[in-house]
Structure 1
């Protein structure tokens, strides 16, 4: 068998083989060339991968920074740019959003007021979300719910599009708000949440509304249906026919407790950015709604509501034992409620 001899001199390969085996020589050269080619390719690929990996590791993602130069610097902590987990704000990503919460008590006009706010194109007020007990079981559940609302991941029939400029809800004082006020104040101040206080001056009228609404829960005067708010004069007239009897033994105490509850709320949340409103003022002076829009830094719009007031006219027309109530409050600090109208 013919033999081939390979000599390596100064990096040059010299192959000597018998003259009688040219095919064998060509095969050796071909195999050697293939081996060298595979080796060189593998080295090149490794170098390419390393370089690519290094470049990827060194790449910094520059997030788009949103800045509204028209926003007053004092308002910067209250202008937010949420990043919802459930959808993309797309072209609205740099539209500033302001967070708010309406603090109120049942039957104080908060439902009517919220419909007014939601008639604004840029407002999404999500209703009484803490009426569900599971959401207010403890501070953790409360803060988790707040995060969802203010991150725009809370969806209700009131929710607008991703370009909403003000997002919030209404929160009754008896829905875990007062018991957890310290943690909530801290959260609101850290997140830049503004508070809208909405109360009723005439607490006696509020009492009448509460009693009438409680009665209708069982009586269901509107064709077997209970409605806390109505949208027609006929429905309002039907509900207003019921005249509650006021418990005289606890009347003054009940009014005092309501008054104290309001005072405590104003004190607990005094360190937040807030505005104080009264139902009677909103009814009599619609320019108060301009103040609200300014407070939320919204473009001015005419706000409307389809809700109809149920108890109109003087209180004596809505309390069955009016004469007794009148006597019980004479000479007290609550005597003013007897003739104070909010229509």
Structure 2
């Protein structure tokens, strides 16, 4: 009896488990465990894209407005600076305005000469080519200041930054030398040898000359052999100091010149041609590199033969008519 009851209970439990298993189908399980992905309508995507575009247009318009305001301020500042210029001479041609400056020195006031326009120049030359003499001729003019060979100091030509800093100080009339005319200067410049950083940084210097309106005065020497002899004689006097124990690179009397002329240098024929070719190429390269600047070309031999014409040409190139370019054939 008991065995029969247990069998019935087992059968009933098995029947219940089978019914539950049958009621749970694989398809129902998949339906319960996964959810269908939500799909947004196309209109909603278009709306979101349009909103993004509107925001982008708004931001872009704000940027344009701000840039326009900045540009307007820049124009206003330029106009105000133009109005603040101390002098306006209607007789000056428009082509000459970039070459006429009104410096404002940091170390003094130009006073009654504040309306005196200043032109910038540079004498570009090689040693023993008469640059000291021509500079003396220029400085004999009451309103021209040529301040010497300032780039003979290596620190001033160590890099282009040092060069432009020195030039800015010079052309702002803040450079003092025995030739400085200070507040009433009408033309200011210097003597610059080709081997004193000029050729090394020629591209930047050409840009500076054109930007600042600097007129270049080339002073060259046709007779390169005589120039070479002068170099040797100057080196000898530097060592021997023939003039009362002193060395003078530039003499100022006939007596001094006769003393120095007594030395007869010995020339090495093996290196002579090479030296003359090197000097000739240096001068030719300088003329090519600075051909796009406002310039005048003078020769030492012309200055010696006619000092008056040479002085007039140099003065015209610095003070009166810097647009004039006098180019003589280079040999």
TM-score, normalization by structure 2: 0.70
Match of 2:144 in 1: 123
Question: In the TM superposition, what is the alpha-carbon distance from 1:196 to its structure 2 partner?
Answer: 0.2
**Greater than 6 Å deviation, 4+ residue runs:** none
Maintained 8 Å contact 1:68/1:96 = no
Moved more, 156-165 or 285-294: 285-294
Match of 1:288 in 2: 310
Question: In the TM superposition, what is the alpha-carbon distance from 1:177 to its structure 2 partner?
Answer: 0.4
Question: In the TM superposition, what is the alpha-carbon distance from 1:65 to its structure 2 partner?
Answer: 3.8
Aligned counterparts, 1:234-249, within 5 A: 234-249=255-270
Stretches of structure 2 lacking an aligned partner (at least 5 in a row): 1-79, 322-330
Match of 1:273 in 2: 294
Match of 1:250 among 252, 268, 271: 271
Maintained 8 Å contact 1:122/1:298 = no
Larger % of helix: which? 2
Maintained 8 Å contact 2:173/2:182 = no
Match of 1:103 among 99, 106, 124: 124
Match of 1:70 in 2: 91
Tell me: CA distance 1:121–1:67, structure 2 relative to 1, closer, same or farther (3 Å): same
Question: In the TM superposition, what is the alpha-carbon distance from 1:143 to its structure 2 partner?
Answer: 0.5
Question: In the TM superposition, what is the alpha-carbon distance from 1:288 to its structure 2 partner?
Answer: 2.7
Maintained 8 Å contact 1:108/1:279 = yes
Q: Distance in 1 between matches of 2:241 and 2:138?
A: 29
Q: Distance in 2 between matches of 1:226 and 1:245?
A: 20
Q: Distance in 2 between matches of 1:99 and 1:81?
A: 11
Aligned counterparts, 1:116-195, within 5 A: 116-195=137-216
Match of 1:88 in 2: 109
Cα RMSD, aligned residues only: 1.6
Query: What SS is found at the alignment partner of 2:206?
Result: helix
Match of 1:260 in 2: 281
Q: Give aligned pairs, total.
A: 241
Query: What SS is found at the alignment partner of 2:108?
Result: coil
Maintained 8 Å contact 2:86/2:114 = no
Maintained 8 Å contact 2:217/2:317 = no
Larger Rg over CA atoms:
2
Match of 1:323 in 2: none
Q: Distance in 1 between matches of 2:281 and 2:223?
A: 14
Aligned counterparts, 1:298-317, within 5 A: 298=320
Match of 2:225 in 1: 204
Tell me: CA distance 1:206–1:143, structure 2 relative to 1, closer, same or farther (3 Å): same
Stretches of structure 1 lacking an aligned partner (at least 5 in a row): 1-59, 300-336, 338-343
